[in-house]
Amino acid sequence: MIDRWGRGTRFLVAATAAWTAFLVLHVLLAGNWWPWVIVEMTPPLTMVAVPMLLLALVPFARPVRRRLALLLVLLLLGGAWLAGFGRGLRESTAAGPRGTAVKVFSWNTNYWDMENDPDVFYAFLRRQNADVYLLQEHLYGVINDTPYNQVIRIDATASLRATFPGYQISVEGEFITLSRLPIVTAHHQTVSSTGDDWFWKGPKFQRTEILVGSRTVSFYNVHLPGPFRGGNPFTAGFYERQKKQSIWRFENLNKLRTDMAGNLYPIVLAGDFNSPWTELYSFQNDIQAHGLPSALAPLHTWPVSRFSLPRIWRLDWLYTTGDLVIPSYHLDGGGKALSDHAAQEFRVIVPDEAHEQKGS
């Protein structure tokens, strides 16, 4: 009977019910409803820490401790899966099918070389010796209380040509794709040339078709706007900023989904998605996320430097579609003095013949 429960039992039951509701809403609303962006940056480790804490208190809820313990164990397992624990155990380290192997380096550069020695910056990029580079934040910025108070367009193509002779260069807004393989098509979206429209109204992804062996592969270079803006939550302006930021983010996320849905080529999708919950977003059915093979703990790519925050978020992701295989993947920490993001370095094998095509 409820009237026989103590205050502690009532608290634990209420906390468990609240946490269950939060998990359900998080799965349903992350990336889909703008007010939820306020909690979307919740660290994934929270999904494990909260049910473990509640489990530790279960002995004090004697009237319902067995049922409560069972429910919390289920919540712990579900939260661990959402947080990414054990995901790497699905990754294969096998060589995969015969085909062409391509080394790819994807990195949010953190305002290019604005706060770094250019020689050190370009030397770091050159040392990666990648076949394809997917680079974000090819820009400078004036930063006060929030990112992107003022963006400054730059043109680093001359330095890149000197650093990467023989590479083809495709530039789209803040994105740069470098390829030593032939670029078949560089998609460019029409944007007003007025002021800084190239940034605020331009796309937040770059699509480039590259010829790999005998097949064409679409490489998507992604940097979605962050889901959250700082400020005082007790002011009306705070929520207006969140709504405006979210609309901007969702518009670009939907553009990316639409573009991918109509793309019949196999896809490599990589970059800074600015959310640790990207796997909850609705992309196409055959998309596959990748991480460290055989890793039990989830990956964390931010912040690797320049912030006092602990490194407990994965904002940088890699996905593929079709029959592409990722035989190796790791995070490059050598650039942590240059950026707050870890770089993703991986190899993708493109089979000589297509085994699977979307729309077939």
In DSSP terms, which residues pair with 288 in a beta bridge? Answer: 320
Burial class (CB in 10 A: 0-12, 13-18, 19+), 201: middle
State the amino acid at position 236 in one-letter form: A
Sorted by where each starts, the structural domains of the chain and their CATH numbers stand as 2-83 (no CATH), 97-351 (3.60.10.10)
Count of all residues that appear for the chain in the document: 360
The closest alpha carbon to 278, from 230, 332, 224, belongs to 224
Mean pLDDT in runs of 10 for the chain (360 residues)?
Answer: 70 95 94 85 94 94 89 96 79 69 97 94 97 97 70 95 98 97 93 86 96 97 88 82 89 94 96 94 86 84 90 96 94 88 97 63
Q: Are strands 267-272 and 215-223 parallel, antiparallel or unpaired?
A: parallel
pLDDT reported for residue 3: 52
Residue 359 is predicted with a pLDDT of 44
> How far is it, in rounded angstroms, from Cα 149 to Cα 67?
51
SS3 for the chain, per residue?
CHHHCCHHHHHHHHHHHHHHHHHHHHHHHCCCCHHHHHHHCCCCCHHHHHHHHHHHHHHHCHHHHHHHHHHHHHHHHHHHHHHCCCHHHHCCCCCCCCEEEEEEEEEECCCCCCCCCHHHHHHHHHHCCCCEEEEECCEEEECCCCCCCEEEECCCHHHHHHHCCCCEEEEECCEEEEECCCEEEECCCCCCCCCCHHHHCCCCEEEEEEEECCEEEEEEEEECCCCCCCCCCCCHHHHHHHHHHHHHHHHHHHHHHHHHHCCCCCEEEEEECCCCCHHHCCCCCCCEECCCCCCCCCCCCECCCCCCCCCCECCEEEEECCCCEEEEEEEECCCCCCCCCCEEEEEEEEECCCCCCCCC
The token pair that represents 269 in the structure block: 């999708």
> What is the pLDDT at residue 339?
96
pTM of this structure: 0.92
